[in-house]
Structure 1
């Protein structure tokens, strides 16, 4: 008999794709999701894709009764529900703490204090917990830069410096043993989620797994949310005929991982005992600059919009990140199947089949400006 799986945030981007994959594998899926308007808008294609295939509970992870209802007869919990915007987290602090930390605390309280059938918990962590990540200094070897100084950023000096000697650094791939030092409220809440789940679940002998997802993208990603996901943000700008403004110098980079690879890794963590009580990076292992993203999308959409490098920056942003995937390859046999070129082609093809959404990105920037977080 296949197990019952609860996916919190299961109507979201990762959650809905995971739900459909697990249904194909014979699992019985329950979804707990608030259908946040910021992500889903008035009509959600992600929700529509799962609503008749899962036991859907519209609820909030901040409510104890919703957890009690959702956890009945569940064998596995995949906890994806979270507020996810790095920039937004810096001025909506209470909401991010309430949803990400307090919501997780309610789950763990139930597992410790109430009867249940839960045999495994998977929690979505994030690359944001690494802050600036891992670098190499020619003098001091492996180093973990502190948050970049605003005075340097204002002068157009965007690269992190060695915290010991101040020299320029070479980016290294960030492994799971790297220093945890998030530079945003979002990153802090994800660190708390991960540590709380692993710590409490171990204390009550429930195997737990934390996945540190990198920048996930692909068909189904919200085109309505102006706070997270630069491929979606840029795509919406392009389809509205609006020019793309790139922060810093455009050379900041991320590890973009395709949604199918993320789902595959998560399923491996759910099904394999080798994953128990472990943390894993989930990414492509490849560094891609924001300028590369913008120019690739402009080419794919055959758009005449301009790409402008502004030199602006957001406090709390990191400069670079790329994941070391050695551990997940060794323990779970995971290898990403999609490179950025292939994944972006699939993403653009999907976007072009969707209606054009209003471009609200400038409103999100205005909010940050008003708080002094955008320079």
Structure 2
């Protein structure tokens, strides 16, 4: 049995992870500030909080508070650091908040560990993100592997959405490996890279084993339906249930690596408990790219409810075109294989969504906010 602290442990991934650890016989403590953007206006009655509280000792506190962290760290063997502000779009205009929570909270955690001679923590697992890669890895017929920079506003205004690279013909999308170029295109991505770098740099000097997990697009039952920055499956599900039209950005052929929450929990548990993961960085995804058009088709099929769908050509500055994980390292090191296909995952997600009240997810308000900031074109 290990004693495990999960920061942000009452969130979507954290509450499921807390339950999995508890079921495996571990003693779990959760630190979470119950942010209304995630948990709603009555956080302690939220489904995620209830899930976490059944499996763990839940402490309401903030990773930006040294006092709160010092209260929960004593006696812990493993820290899984999930607490973070999420959302690439929102990060571009709430720059201070994202840096304060994501970078500042991680720095406080490490500062405490560095200066506590009685610390018991042996491993820190940091939840990193695919966003640190930016546009990811492509194969050029002339140049081999290349890493395109951010797409230009001019190209996208003219409907040229695919990345290009100087001196190269048409690029072939390939999986992004852990040793690929790091070039985040959002404030969120920058903060996740900084979190990861802090943990991977500081922990070995303290005799603590670090592990970084670069999550792809995680989805599944329990994902917030009221947080407009949580992901397109939740956003589109709410629109479908309301009978409202779906506007697809770009040309709908942009793709993401969607990974079901149960697979993420398995990978995170193994990284936390298996010594083979020590001092390693891993992608955690499905290894399969799914276009936004396919997401909409699968959701409409799952809910059996037709709604108008329009491909608008709109786009958000800072968005990437594609990003798919190369899972070679986590397969070869830990034997991890994703088990839930996208279609099966959507079925499970839609069944859960259908059991929830239909609520306003705040999506239109978030888009208007981005328009005002000139980030949505």
Bin of the TM-score, shorter chain as denominator length = over 0.9
The answer to whether residue 140 in structure 2 is matched with residue 137 in structure 1 is yes
- Following TM superposition, the consecutive aligned residue runs of length 4 or more in structure 1 with deviations greater than 4 angstroms are none
SS in 2 for 1:51: helix
TM-score (norm 1): 0.98
Matching residue within 209, 227, 230 for 2:229: 227
SS in 2 for 1:261: helix
Question: Counterpart of 1:151?
Answer: 154
RMSD across aligned positions (CA): 0.9
1:39-87 deviation digits (Å, cap 9, x = unpaired)? 1102410101121431111111111101101112111100000011010
Question: Counterpart of 2:197?
Answer: 195
Confirm or deny: 8 A CA contact 1:86 1:228 kept in the other structure.
Answer: no
The answer to whether residue 8 in structure 2 is matched with residue 9 in structure 1 is yes
Confirm or deny: 8 A CA contact 1:96 1:186 kept in the other structure.
Answer: yes
Alignment length (residue pairs): 373
Counterpart CA distance in 2 for 1:305 and 1:359 is 17
Confirm or deny: 8 A CA contact 2:217 2:257 kept in the other structure.
Answer: yes
Gaps of 5+ in 2: none
TM-score (norm 2): 0.98
Counterpart CA distance in 1 for 2:13 and 2:356 is 18
Counterpart CA distance in 2 for 1:119 and 1:74 is 8
1:301-356 deviation digits (Å, cap 9, x = unpaired)? 11121111110000100000111001000000100101101111111111111111
Question: Counterpart of 2:23?
Answer: 24
Question: Counterpart of 2:287?
Answer: 285
Confirm or deny: 8 A CA contact 1:6 1:32 kept in the other structure.
Answer: yes
Gaps of 5+ in 1: none
Confirm or deny: 8 A CA contact 1:128 1:186 kept in the other structure.
Answer: yes
Counterpart CA distance in 2 for 1:235 and 1:131 is 26
Q: How far has the Cα of 1:166 moved from its partner?
A: 5.4
Matching residue within 271, 276, 279 for 2:278: 276
Counterpart CA distance in 1 for 2:149 and 2:325 is 18
SS in 1 for 2:243: coil
Confirm or deny: 8 A CA contact 1:240 1:359 kept in the other structure.
Answer: no
1:198-234 deviation digits (Å, cap 9, x = unpaired)? 1000111100100000000011111110012110111
